[in-house]
Amino acid sequence: MALRESGEDYLEAILMLHRAHGVVRSVDIADQLGVTKASVSKAMSMLEERGYVEMAKRDVRLTEKGLARAEHVLEQHLFFRDLLSAAGVDPHVAAEEACHMEHCLSDDSFNKLRAYIEHVER
């Protein structure tokens, strides 16, 4: 079963929090995403069931599978944010819209678009 946009957002948030603080707690995820602790609990159960995260007491850890997916989503987010910013979009708007764009393309389309942009920039 494919991971939905919200699941990818959780993985991306966990990765960003881990990079910033080392330890990730459910309350940190709730604060980062602006959701309730109950929503985080439900999402973590689903992500753990699918093998993306491991729960260790209060800490949330990405599995190898979760880390790979989170890094991919973050890579797409940064690509679209930077592309929109380079086109003159307000940085706040670029970050917000990149959050939506990172979920709507297939991996194949994203890779081809990235390769095309890199080719044009050379």
- Find out if CATH 3.40.190.10 is the number for domain 1-68: no
pLDDT range class, residue 1, cuts 50, 70, 90: low
Residue ranges per structural domain of the chain: 1-68, 71-121
* pLDDT above 70 coverage of the chain, percent: 98
Under DSSP, the state recorded for 122 is -
Mean pLDDT, range 47-59, rounded to an integer:
93
Which pLDDT score is estimated for 3?
A: 78
Architecture of the domain spanning 71-121: Orthogonal Bundle (1.10)
Tell whether the model's pLDDT for residue 41 goes beyond 80.
yes
Kindly report the pTM of this predicted structure: 0.89
Per-residue pLDDT tens over the stretch 59-74:
999 999 999 999 999 9
DSSP 27-76: HHHHHHHT--HHHHHHHHHHHHHTTSEEEETTEEEE-HHHHHHHHHHHHH
